[in-house]
Amino acid sequence: MADATTQQSSRSRDLDKLLLRPGHLVGPAFEPGTELRDDLQKYVRILVVGAGGLGCELLKDLALSGFKNLEVIDMDRIEVSNLNRQFLFRLEDVGKPKAEVAAKRVMERVSGVNIVPHFCRIEDKELEFYSEFSIIVLGLDSIEARSYINAVACGFLEYDSNDNPQEQTMKPMVDGGTEGFKGHARVILPGMTPCFECTIWLFPPQVKFPLCTLAETPRTAAHCIEYAHLIKWDEVHSGKSFDPDNPEHMQWVYLEAAKRAELFGIPGVTYSLTQGVVKNIIPAIASTNAIISAACALETLKIASGCSKTLSNYLTYNGVEGLHTKVTEFVKDKDCLVCGPGILIELDTSVTLKMFIDLVEDHPKLLVSGASVTHRGKNLYMQAPPVLEEMTRSNLSLPLFELMDKFPKGVVHVTGTAGKGDNRQSCLRKLRVAFKGVDGITDTDMAGGA
């Protein structure tokens, strides 16, 4: 076995080509040298959000890219169906927290790397937790979770008096996502490039096939399956609802779909495709995860070291037929409530925290309920857990101006829930508060705000 030094130098051989030499494509502040490599290992702290298919790949790639201080957060436990692609997990791990097993396995294989696992919901961590990382890398499959982390990271961004983002408060994010043979990798530099919320329209509501296509002009195997599932089932089984977990029901739909496909000369109806279409299962493909993770790890290295300019700013990968990749430069939404300077709220110095919370909950643009308020990492009022609620309750009757240490203006963070009915989800809003009549703040300064 090679000794530790040889092993170490052979591991950084490829990395050294990027970090030790100057070049034409490097970023503006790039200073090549062994010091840079050592600093990356010593000072850069990376949080990986998600320890599923993409998260496993990300942890491995980042560890092998020389990063030594990694943390991973995931609320799920390992299931048997994960094992085909979430390659850090074994049969004996089923039932254990993904974050803990993933961290342990990578540390066993890559010497010198330290990975701290967090087995909890992302909302359970204080905002301070997220502020301590140099870069946040996302390997998630949910839009809600992305939206939340995006709001947290953008919440750290501060703007100067001319509404220019202050670079030292910028928390970079690298977001990966995969769906079957398709995937994306994007770089979010809050204040500079569009945040997740600026381009939320990239996730359109799921398209269902029009019923007339299913009934009259089927063209694909999926059309035939949906015809059997949505139309034929009701015709034949009046009143009896279809149960996707009942194998007899599924078999019936499959046979009907096969008959219809034969009638229209359409190939490709199989039992497993029937299950996939009816249950809306999108297969997870290990190679897609590997490719997207590699792109994300490289962008992370570029942000951390400046060894090259970052992706600008959204890479899509499509391996459905042949292979196609493309980079699109999306633009920021200048009115974005999440990464912009924040909604400006102008207050009298006498307004109490309770009055402020009522105002926020009634604000037509914010739509927050159950609001908790923090200022510079200090909890002014927390709705939960009960012990924090009790500790902060007495603040409600105090003027916000005093709670914010009598600064004429400042940024407060409000967390709560937004949305209606079953669609409620955690949200975080950044608000700029300015107090009237303090330190030369006049009403004219506020023109164009709110």
User: Which positions are annotated as active-site residues?
Assistant: 212
Phi and psi angles of residue 440, each rounded to the nearest 5 degrees, phi first: 75, 5
Which residue number is nearest to Zn ion in terms of Cβ?
336
Calpha distance 295→185 (Å, rounded): 7
Residue 5: enclosing H or E segment and its boundaries?
A: helix 4-11
Size of the site for Zn ion (CB under 5 A): 6
Which range of residues in 94-102, 240-248, 279-287, 328-336 is near Zn ion by CB under 5 A?
Answer: 328-336
Q: Which of residues 332-351 bind Zn ion (CB under 5 A)?
A: 336, 338-339
Query: What's the DSSP call for residue 139?
Result: E
* Euclidean distance between CA atoms 389 and 26, whole angstroms: 50
Residue 198 sits in the site that holds Zn ion (CB under 5 A):
yes
Binding to Zn ion in span 241-300, by CB under 5 A: none
Please, which residue, 336 or 351, has the CB nearer to Zn ion? 336
Kindly indicate which of the ranges 49-57, 197-205, 362-370, 396-404 contains the residues binding Zn ion, using the contact rule CB under 5 A: 197-205
Q: How far is the CB of 97 from Zn ion (least distance, A)?
A: 32
Which residue of 197, 346, 361, 389 would you call a contact of Zn ion, by CB under 5 A?
A: 197
Q: What is the amino acid identity at position 216?
A: E
At 23, list the tokens: 């070049």
- 3-state secondary structure at position 290: helix
Q: Give the range of 8-16, 194-202, 258-266, 317-325 binding Zn ion by CB under 5 A.
A: 194-202
| Binding of Zn ion by 149 (CB under 5 A) | no
Q: In what order do the strands lie in the sheet with 45-49?
A: 114-118, 69-73, 45-49, 135-139, 173-179, 182-188, 314-318, 324-328
Shortest distance, CB of residue 371 to Zn ion, whole angstroms? Answer: 21
Residue 91 DSSP code: G
Interatomic CA distance for residues 359 and 275, integer angstroms: 49
Backbone angles phi, psi at 422, to 5 degrees: -75, -10
The least distance separating Zn ion from the CB of residue 50, rounded to whole angstroms, comes to 21
Q: In angstroms, what is the minimal distance from the CB of 201 to Zn ion?
A: 12
Q: Cβ closer to Zn ion: 155 or 177?
A: 155
Q: Which of 157, 195, 291, 431: binder of Zn ion (CB under 5 A)?
A: 195
State in angstroms the smallest separation of the CB of 165 from Zn ion. Answer: 11
Sole residue written with tokens 């297969």: 283
Residue nearer to Zn ion on the CB measure, 198 or 292: 198
26 binds Zn ion (CB under 5 A): no
Listed ranges 99-107, 112-120, 187-195, 256-264: which one lies at the site for Zn ion (CB under 5 A): 187-195
Prior bond to 385 cis, omega within 30? yes
202 close to 188: Cβ distance less than 8 angstroms: no
**How many angstroms separate the CA atoms of 148 and 426, rounded?**
7
CB of 190 to Zn ion, least distance (A): 8
By the criterion CB under 5 A, which residues form the site for Zn ion? 195, 197-198, 336, 338-339
